[in-house]
Amino acid sequence: MKVFNVGNNAVNLYLLDSGTHLLLVDCGFPGQLSSLGRCMRTRGYKMRNIDYLLVTHFHIDHAGLIQELKKEGVKFLLIETQQPMISTMELMAARKWAYTFLDLSDNLMMPVGSSRDFLKQLDINGTIISTPGHTDDSITLVLDSGEAFTGDLPAEHLAADEQSPMRLSWTKLRAAGASVIYPGHGNVYELAGTSTR
């Protein structure tokens, strides 16, 4: 699996190349389609080659380009637990950005429990886990090789309360074999107490 950061200084956007399919994890702010295209070209890819898009949560810096990418032919994977947050993001986005509202009729709706089978069709060995802590709709893509694309889930050491949603999310990530964290902002890092494979 090849992983590239095709984001910018504001947010990390990860392009996963399984050899047969391209999956983009998070897509950035509205109006940044050209910037995303430039970043992809520097890595040897074109936007029209993206097969699927997955967002870690519905905040404008991670989900602002969904409909623009769909117009380019990218299929959007909507995790069922995320759907209630779309309208909240769109109400805020419409006041500040030239945001294109999400067409809800043509997304690939998927429950978290079906993610492993779907990803397998893309030659991606991994699963999607619900990881509330930053937002209730936050999800993480965890590859069987240990890479975890966590979006804005705060770092594990910030979860002081053992029963907080954030702490429970990190417990689930460790149980799923997460060892290298690909955050929505900042640098990739190794999860404390794990060893990379």
User: What CATH number does the domain containing 17 carry?
Assistant: 3.60.15.10
Residue-level pLDDT at 162: 80
Question: Does residue 179 sit within a domain?
Answer: yes
pLDDT reading at 160 higher than 80: no
Contacts of residue 139, defined as CB under 8 A and 6 or more positions apart, other chains included, come to 54, 56, 57, 79, 81, 82, 112, 128, 129, 130, 131, 151
pLDDT reading at 195 higher than 80: no
Residue-level pLDDT at 54: 98
Single pTM value for the model: 0.96
What tokens appear for 17 in the block?
A: 């190349």
Mean pLDDT of 23-32: 96
Question: Does residue 25 sit within a domain?
Answer: yes
Question: Does residue 118 sit within a domain?
Answer: yes
Query: Among residues of the chain, what percentage have pLDDT more than 90?
Result: 87
Question: Does residue 197 sit within a domain?
Answer: no
Strands in 189-190's sheet, in edge-to-edge order, are 126-130, 139-143, 147-151, 180-183, 189-190
**Band of residue 151 on the pLDDT scale cut at 50, 70, 90:** very high
What domain count does the chain have? 1
Q: Give the domain extent around 85.
A: 2-190
Question: Does residue 62 sit within a domain?
Answer: yes
- Say if residue 16 is exposed, middle or buried (CB neighbours under 10 Å; 0-12, 13-18, 19+): buried
Question: Does residue 166 sit within a domain?
Answer: yes
Residue 136 has, within 13 A of its CA and on its CB side, a CA count of: 9
pLDDT reading at 197 higher than 70: no
pLDDT reading at 164 higher than 80: yes
Question: Does residue 89 sit within a domain?
Answer: yes
**Band of residue 113 on the pLDDT scale cut at 50, 70, 90:** very high
